[in-house]
Amino acid sequence: MYLTRRQIYIIGGSIILLIIIVLVLVWVNRSQQDEGSQIDQPVVYDSSSINGGQVNQGVVRGLSSAEVAAKNFTERYFSYSNQNWGENLNILRSQMTSSMWQESQQELANLQSQYSVEQFYGVSARVITQEAISEDDSDYRIRQDVQLEESIGNDRRINYLSYQVQMIKVNDAWLINNITLN
């Protein structure tokens, strides 16, 4: 089978065009990755910042380890539903003093008596702002403004509340000792 000169040019041009397209795609992908690495990525405060129930020590984006611990704790503590009562507290148990654990269990029992499992009830919390009120080597107090999104069946309400979180240092880890509504 012999190819005409025209067919050879068409095949050769197609191959060259295909190579150019692949090179352009690789170049575009690489430049997007380079740009992505230069963008200041947001810090997500979640379970990855906790090792064995203790918050990683050190400063993250200007927040002290106590402030990161308080933010993580508050968002988990006030996020729950009647489909998994107490699951959030079990996760946080290692970050609480024994008195805080007892208080949280009493609060859980009160919530369980108020809301049946017949209709969905859930709360999702997000710390909007926080500031240190007082701090020393063993005691830290933080005021937090928290958005609570409460769902009861199909109804949804958003509340904004202010809490004071009191933490104490035990063996180089900050434990939540008390949360009070301001």
In the chain (182 residues long), the average pLDDT of successive 10-residue segments reads 87 94 88 55 41 42 78 93 88 92 92 84 94 89 94 92 93 90 90
> What pLDDT was estimated at residue 33?
65
DSSP, collapsed to helix, strand or coil, labels residue 155 as strand
Q: Is residue 28 part of a domain?
A: no
Q: Is residue 47 part of a domain?
A: no
Q: Is residue 4 part of a domain?
A: no
How is residue 147 written in tokens?
Answer: 């958005």
* Total domains present in the chain: 1
Start-to-end C-alpha separation, the chain? 89
> What pLDDT was estimated at residue 63?
67
> What pLDDT was estimated at residue 55?
41
Instruction: Say if CB 55 and CB 48 are below 8 A apart.
Output: no
**pTM of the shown model:** 0.63
* Full domain range(s) for residue 152: 64-181
Q: Is residue 138 part of a domain?
A: yes
How is residue 36 written in tokens?
Answer: 């992505």
How is residue 106 written in tokens?
Answer: 């009493």
Q: How far lies 61's CA from each of 43, 44, 58, 67, 159, in Å?
A: 8, 11, 10, 11, 27
Q: Is residue 176 part of a domain?
A: yes
Spatial separation of the C-alpha atoms in residues 14 and 83, rounded to whole Å? 60
> What pLDDT was estimated at residue 158?
95
- Count of beta carbons in the 10 Å neighbourhood of residue 31: 10
- The CATH number of residue 151's host domain is 3.10.450.230
> What pLDDT was estimated at residue 34?
58
